[in-house]
Chain A
Amino acid sequence: MAHYTITIDETGETYRCSDQETLLVGMEKLGKQGIPVGCRGGGCGVCKIEVVAGDYTKRRMSREYVSEEDEAAHRVLACRVRPAGNMVLRVIGLMKKNVCRQAE
C-alpha cells in the first residue's frame, strides 16, 4: 500500500491518501475538508473535482454529472478516484460554495 500527498489547490489543504482509498474518503477519514461529501458512490456528482496534476485510477461514475469530455479532461468524481501518485486538484462540484465557505 502506497501513500501520496493530495493538495487542494484553492485552499492549500493537503492530506495523505493511500492508493486503497478514494480521494474523498481519504480526506474525510483525516477530518479534513474541501471536497463536498455526498453519496460517496459516484452517483450524485457533488464531489466533482478537476485533477490539475498527478496520476490516478478511477471507477465508473454517473454520466449525469461527468460527461465523456469531462472524464477526458480529468474532471472526475473524488469518490471514484484513487491516487497513483501525488495529486493536485480543484473543487468544481455544485456544493463548492457551501464547503469553501465552511472551510474558510
Chain B
Amino acid sequence: MAMNGVLRPGHAALRVLDLEEAVNFYGNVLGLQETGRDKQWRVYFKAWDERDHNSVVIREADKAGIDFFAFKVDGKKTLEKLDADLRAYGVSTERIPAGEMLETGERVRFQVPSGHMIELYAEKKDVGNGISYVNPDPWSAASEKGIAPTRLDHCLLYGPDIEKVQKLFEEVLGFYLVEHIVLEDNKTDLAIWLSTSIKAHDIAFVRHPEPGKLHHVAFLLDSWERVLRAADLMSMNHVSIDIGPTRHGVTRGTTIYAFDPSGNRFETFCGGYQTYPDHQPLKWTMDEVGTGIFYHDRKLNDRFLSVVT
C-alpha cells in the first residue's frame, strides 16, 4: 500500500491548569522528552521514538481540553491540494505561518462540524530519536524513562454531527471507517473510528451534545507488559486512573485510561490490529457497547460518556 496524502497524527495541543505540574507529568511520569518552549509560554514534547521535533504542545489556561489536533501530510504539494479541496468542499481554512510553532512548517487549520480545530502540515524538523541513522541500536536510555510511549498514536474527540465529520474526513482527507457503534435505530452512529493508514484508528469521534470536547489523546506502547508497567508507574506517581489495564473490543487494543493533572484523559495503548481501506467496517450494537469499549468489564463505566475536557 502506498502511503500518501495524510500520513499520521502529528501533534496535539492541550490546555493545562498548572504548567509546571504538567511539565513534570508529561516529562517525568509519562516520559516524553521536552524539546522546547516558545514566547507564548507553550512547552513542546515528543515521544522518545518520534523523529520530528514535537507531538504534544501544552499551554497554561483557565480551562483544560484540546486546542487543536494535527496531521502530517506527505509534502507541500499535498498541503496545497488539501487546502484547496477543503475550500472547494465548503470548509474555510486558515494558514498559520511556518515557525508559529517551534520547528514546524506552515499549517492549514480548519474547524470540523464537531467543533474541533484540525490542522495539516507538511514540514517539521527531523531531530531524530537519539539513535543513529546509521547502524542503529534498537532502543536507548530514553526508551526506559517514565512510561515512555513510542509515539502519539490517536485521539478520541466528543462533539455533535459526527456523520458530517466522517464525510469530510473520508471525502476530502482520504480516511476510511474501520469500526463504528450504531445506536438502537440501527442508522445513527454513536461512535466512529477512522484511519488514514493501516492503523486501526488515527482519530475517533463520539456523538456528544457539547462541541469541541476531548475524550483522550493516546500514546503507543510496544507490549502488554509495557502497559502493565505503565499502570505501576501511574500508581507510584499517584496518577488519576480512569480504568484498566484492560482491553478494548473495538480495535482489540490493550489499554489504560488515565488523566493528566489537569483532568485531560490520556491513554496508554498497545496493539490494535492492522487494517486496509478495502476492509469492511466492523459494527458494534448498543446491547454490546460495553464489550466494545471495555472488553473485560463488558460494561461502560459512568465516566466513559460523561467525563471530557
Contacts and interface: CB of A to CB of B under 8 A. Distances in A.
A37 B259 CA distance: 12
Nearest to B242: A39
Interface in A4-38: 36-38
B124 to A, nearest CB: 28
Interface residues of B, number: 21
Contact of A62 (B17, B259, B260, B307): B17
A62 B65 CA distance: 9
A94 interface: yes
Interface in A36-60: 36-44, 46, 59-60
A57 to B, nearest CB: 15
A98 B263 CA distance: 20
Given A39-B307, A39-B309, A41-B260, A98 B17 contact: no
A88 interface: no
A42 B65 CA distance: 11
A61 interface: yes
Contacts of B159: none
Interface in A59-76: 59-64
A43 B309 contact: yes
B240 interface: yes
A43 B306 contact: no
B84 interface: no
B65 A43 contact: yes
B262 A41 contact: yes
Interface string A83-104: 0000000000011001100000
B62 A42 contact: no
Contacts of A59: 17-18
Contacts of B262: 41-43, 62
B197 interface: no
B17 A39 contact: no
Contact of A44 (B18, B62, B261, B308): B308
Given A43-B263, A60-B17, A38 B65 contact: no
A70 B183 CA distance: 36
Interface string B248-275: 0000000000011111110000000000
Nearest to A98: B302
A95 B119 CA distance: 33
Interface of B: 17-18, 62-65, 240, 242, 259-265, 302-303, 306-309
Give the 4 A-B residue pairs with the shortest CB-CB distance, closest first.
A43-B263, A39-B263, A43-B64, A41-B263
11 contacts: A38-B306, A38-B307, A39-B307, A40-B240, A41-B259, A41-B262, A42-B262, A44-B309, A60-B18, A64-B309, A94-B306
